[in-house]
């Protein structure tokens, strides 16, 4: 077992959504990231992936629960300790068009964090900017350009350089490829993998793209309506998904071979995603689950280890009513 760099215990983040209404964006999530690993986080839009990531790096304050970074409670950090945490935990944002200041040059954007955390001469800053641009695959001349002069892929590379500028240990990659062309997506993901190997970084990689998550992640967590429903190794989750929601997600991944795609069985979900505002008691997935029983209406399932390293939040898992159907078989 490796050393945990980030640990969330029963993490909750709620937002007020009107009179007597509470939006439970993240509700009782437990995750741990080992140093140097990549944890992929997947799920439908609005399931709480981004909110979870932002709460881990303290862009949002947790409503309840605990976030530990290198064993220290993030909510209790103050002064120099908090400044040190801000340096060690960075985020790459989803939209490369909105996350860069249009009035600053690329060089100024990258050095902004350096000015806070390091004491460097102008020459040292220039050298570091050039080195960072080189690491993310851009020429030194880009330092004098503005964001509007760059393509989407180039802007996202600048966003990565900005995150790396303060020498972080942990980076939340919040859907860093969703706003990019398909041809550029693989380049950015391969760049992230290369930088991780060179610098020993730890990633929380948030994405809708299940194929890309499989490519970059060591472990994968599946969220549904604010809760973690399954957490397993990359191979374990894709080869043997256990939760009905995960089975539906994995079955939706298209196959490259047309013959395999045609013969592939899909797991179809019925019903609508319930509102995260004042959700009813019990399992959040019960309205769309064909295995749901009486207990699902009353109690929220806990994330339990059903196989070594494979965690599932489901009351019916392993019971007689449960009939596992391997993905790809009807």
d(CA 103, CA 81): 31
So what's the pLDDT on residue 326?
A: 44
Mean of the pLDDT values across residues 146-163? 92
Mean of the pLDDT values across residues 142-153? 93
Classified as helix, coil or strand, 228 is strand
Nearest residue to 214 (alpha-carbon basis) of 196, 189, 238:
238
- pLDDT band of residue 225 (cuts 50, 70, 90) is very high
Q: Which two tokens stand for residue 149?
A: 């002069």
Is 80 exceeded by the pLDDT of residue 258? no
Is 60 exceeded by the pLDDT of residue 71? yes
Q: Tell me the residue ranges of DSSP E strands in the chain.
A: 4-16, 22-34, 38-42, 64-69, 72-73, 89-92, 170-174, 202-206, 219-224, 227-233, 304-307, 310-312
What is the chain's Cα-based Rg? Answer: 21
Is 90 exceeded by the pLDDT of residue 55? yes
DSSP state of 284: T
297-311 CB burial, b ≥16 within 10 A, e <16: eeeebebeeeeeebb
Q: pLDDT tens-digit profile of 303-326?
A: 999 999 999 999 888 765 555 444
Q: pLDDT tens-digit profile of 127-146?
A: 999 999 999 999 999 999 99
Mean of the pLDDT values across residues 119-131? 93
Strands of the sheet containing 170-174, edge to edge, are: 89-92, 170-174, 202-206, 38-42, 219-224, 227-233, 310-312, 304-307
Nearest residue to 54 (alpha-carbon basis) of 117, 99, 106:
99
So what's the pLDDT on residue 325?
A: 46
- pLDDT band of residue 329 (cuts 50, 70, 90) is very low
Mean pLDDT of the chain: 89
Domain spans of the chain, in order of start: 4-312
pTM beyond 0.85: the answer is yes
* 4-16 and 64-69 strand pairing: antiparallel
CATH number at 4-312: 3.40.50.300
- How many CB atoms neighbour CB 277 within 10 A? 12
Measure the N-to-C terminal CA separation of the chain; round to a whole number of Å. 38
Q: pLDDT tens-digit profile of 161-171?
A: 999 999 999 99
d(CA 251, CA 265): 7
Burial class (CB in 10 A: 0-12, 13-18, 19+), 34: middle
Distances (CA, A) of 10 to 2, 58, 60, 79: 21, 16, 15, 26
Percentage of the residues of the chain whose pLDDT score is greater than 90: 65
């Amino acid at each position: 077992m490796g050393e945990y760099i980030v640990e969330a215990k029963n993490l909750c983040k709620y937002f007020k959504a009107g009179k007597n209404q509470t939006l439970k964006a993240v509700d009782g999530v437990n995750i741990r990231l080992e140093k140097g690993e990549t944890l992929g986080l997947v799920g439908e839009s609005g399931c709480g992936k981004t909110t979870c990531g932002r709460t881990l790096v303290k862009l949002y304050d947790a409503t309840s629960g605990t976030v530990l970074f290198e064993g220290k409670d993030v909510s209790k950090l103050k002064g120099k300790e908090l400044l040190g945490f801000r340096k060690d935990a960075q985020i790459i944002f989803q939209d490369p068009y909105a996350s860069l200041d249009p009035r600053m040059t690329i060089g100024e954007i990258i050095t902004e964090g350096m000015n806070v955390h390091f004491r460097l001469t102008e020459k040292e800053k220039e050298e570091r900017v050039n080195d960072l641009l080189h690491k993310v695959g851009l020429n030194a001349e880009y330092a004098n350009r503005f964001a509007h002069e760059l393509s989407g892929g180039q802007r996202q590379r600048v966003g990565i350089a900005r995150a790396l500028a303060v020498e972080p240990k942990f980076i939340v990659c919040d859907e860093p490829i969703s706003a990019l062309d398909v041809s550029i997506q693989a380049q950015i993901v391969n760049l992230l993998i290369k930088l991780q190997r060179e610098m020993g970084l730890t990633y929380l990689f948030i994405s809708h793209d299940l194929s890309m998550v499989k490519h970059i992640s060591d472990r994968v967590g599946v969220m549904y309506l604010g809760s973690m429903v399954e957490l397993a190794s990359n191979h374990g989750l894709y080869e043997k998904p256990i939760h009905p929601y995960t089975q539906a997600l994995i079955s939706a991944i298209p196959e490259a071979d047309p013959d395999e795609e045609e013969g592939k069985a899909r797991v179809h979900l019925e019903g609508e995603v319930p509102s995260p505002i004042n959700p009813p008691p019990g399992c959040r997935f019960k309205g769309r689950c064909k295995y749901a029983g009486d207990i699902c209406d009353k109690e929220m399932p806990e994330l339990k280890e059903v196989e070594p390293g494979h965690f599932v939040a489901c009351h019916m898992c392993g019971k007689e009513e449960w009939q596992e159907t391997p993905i790809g078989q009807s």
